[in-house]
Amino acid sequence: MPTKLIAGKTVQVNEEGFMTDPYEWNQEIAVELAKEEGITELTPAHWKVIEFCRQAAKDTGKAPTLRAITTKAGIPTKDLFALFPKGPAKKVARIAGLGKPEGCV
């Protein structure tokens, strides 16, 4: 399995760049991954979504879908797209150190 150096820490990733072990994740890694996704600053609103996704993945064993994020976290779809443009479920999963959500291409 490939590895990648992110925020000074070597982590395991898959061929698409998603971390494969969510326990290797930390907030510094999230900041660096967000920058790679074009998000220069993680605001409290970003962290709310990231923390929801990490907890949902811990509970279910997989990253939540866009629909799960909007309905269960109470984040309107429009707001989610504003926070994580062009594919929010996939972006937030990557930033949160989770695998790619089911249904994402």
Residue 36 falls within a domain, yes or no?
yes
Q: Does this model's pTM top 0.85?
A: yes
Range of the domain at 11: 3-95
Q: Tell me the average pLDDT across 48-57.
A: 97
Asked if residues 80 and 64 have their Cβ atoms less than 8 Å apart, the reply is no
- How many domains does the chain contain in total? 1
Q: Does position 10 have pLDDT exceeding 90, yes or no? A: yes
Contact, 43 vs 26, CB < 8 A? no
Rounded Cα–Cα distance for residues 80 and 16 (Å): 22
Residues with a known catalytic role: 104
Q: Is residue 11 part of a domain?
A: yes
The answer to whether residue 44 sits within a structural domain is: yes
Instruction: Note the pLDDT tens digit of each residue in 18-27.
Output: 999 999 999 9
